[in-house]
Amino acid sequence: MPRCSGGACHFSMLAFVIQRLFQSALVMLIVALIAFVMFTFIGDPVDQMVGLETTLEEREQLREQLGLKDPVPIQFINYIGRAIQGDFGISYQFKRPVATMIGERLPATLELSMVSALFALIAGIPMGVYTALKRDSFISKIFLTVSLVGISLPTFLIGILLIFVFAVQLQWLPSFGRGQTVDLGWWTTGLLTSSGIKALIMPAITLGLFQMTLIMRLVRSEMLEVLRTDYIKFARARGLRDRAIHFGHALKNTLVPVITITGLQLGAIIAFAIITETVFSWPGMGLLFLQAVQDVDIPIMSAYLLMIAFLFVVINLIVDLLYVFVDPRIRITGGET
């Protein structure tokens, strides 16, 4: 396989970055189109905003004001323009600006997601390495069984089980809410109070368990795959110590997919927070979104879609770029196979 060197490499890297940026913009545009179609064509925004006693003339006037009489492409451009400025319209249900509502709920969701991801990584990687190295040990079998259960059980069921054991029976942990939060002005955090941390434990485990099992299984299968390769055999033949082979050669080479998956899973965690937040009445964006789906509150739904899409696209972009730096083989093919 040819290796790029010097200027050629920089050029292909730059081309790759530009290509990826362009793709991300395209994805955002398509998602924005979907959000716009939802926003405009599902239900009549005017009907949702006015009372029953509003006259037809007033409705027409409002329609004019909202720009609903403009040609659709212009409406779309205006929609994107407003979205870029952070204006996602007014919630049908709560009659408040959607951007403000999401802003209030963002810290709760991000805090929960970050703690869950951390939990998944810290527990998942060592478990994966262990089960790969000691394939037939008893503990490995327990880990694998638990991981199968973790993948099989739906998130909400795990949450309910935890609540049943630790909140209803043992009464150790609270079953709902964030506990006491500290307002930092631009951010509210539950990490600084003991009731906040207590309230975080069960939701974080519920949310992170699936990712933990995923990371564990991934690390395990990658390790097994790598341990079979010729360069590991060669390293053994050279008489290197097991520790050096396992951690210096094998684990290092398994980390590329782990980085990718963990990065991509970050988005999934934020999306799956919808379920966890519902089970634990965690006052985050997910709960807001779910209530919006139940009430068909389209402005919140489309704003959430746009925001999540943006988050995903950014995460994907970062993962892709990281990937290039970690794995030199991708630089040649430009990432597309």
Give the binding site for other proteins (CB under 8 A). Answer: 27, 30-31, 38, 42-43, 148-149, 151-157, 160-161, 163-164, 168, 175, 264, 267-268, 271-272, 274-275, 278, 289-290, 292-294, 296, 298, 301, 305, 308-309, 312-313, 316
Residues 6+ away with beta carbon under 8 Å from 279: 155, 156, 159, 160, 163, 203, 206
* CA dihedral over 303, 185, 318, 250, signed as positive or negative: negative
Give 143 or 272: the residue with its C-beta nearer to other proteins: 272
What are the Cα distances from residue 285, in Å, to 243, 289, 295? 44, 6, 15
Give me the least distance between CB of 316 and other proteins, in Å please: 6
Give the 3-state secondary structure of residue 183.
Answer: strand
Residue 17 DSSP code: H
Nearer to other proteins, 111 or 320 (CB): 320
Write out the H or E segment, with its range, that includes residue 182. Answer: strand 182-183
What distance in Å separates the CA atoms of residue 113 and residue 204, rounded to the nearest whole number?
Answer: 7
Q: What 3-state DSSP class applies to 18? A: helix
Return the SS3 of 306: helix
CB of 254 to other proteins, least distance (A): 17
State which residue, 223 or 292, has the beta carbon closest to other proteins.
292
Residue 125 CB, nearest approach to other proteins (Å): 22
Minimum distance from CB of 95 to other proteins (Å)?
18
Q: Report which DSSP code applies to 110.
A: H
Nearer to other proteins, 38 or 259 (CB): 38
Q: How far is the CB of 5 from other proteins (least distance, A)?
A: 31
Q: Are 46 and 55 in contact (CB under 8 A)?
A: no
For other proteins, the closer CB: 295 or 327:
295
> Cβ 317 to other proteins, closest distance in Å?
11
102-105 long-range contacts (CB < 8 A, ≥24 apart) are 102/285, 102/288, 102/300, 102/303, 102/304, 102/307, 105/283, 105/284, 105/285, 105/287, 105/288
Nearer of residues 197 and 305 to other proteins, judged by Cβ = 305
CB of residue 44 to other proteins, shortest distance in Å: 10
- The smaller minimum CB distance to other proteins, of residues 104 and 225, is found at 225
Contact, 322 vs 263, CB < 8 A?
Answer: yes
Q: How far is the CB of 322 from other proteins (least distance, A)?
A: 16
Cβ proximity to other proteins, 11 vs 156, nearer residue:
156
Which residue has tokens 């396989």?
Answer: 1
**CA–CA distance, 152 with 307 (Å, rounded to integer):** 29
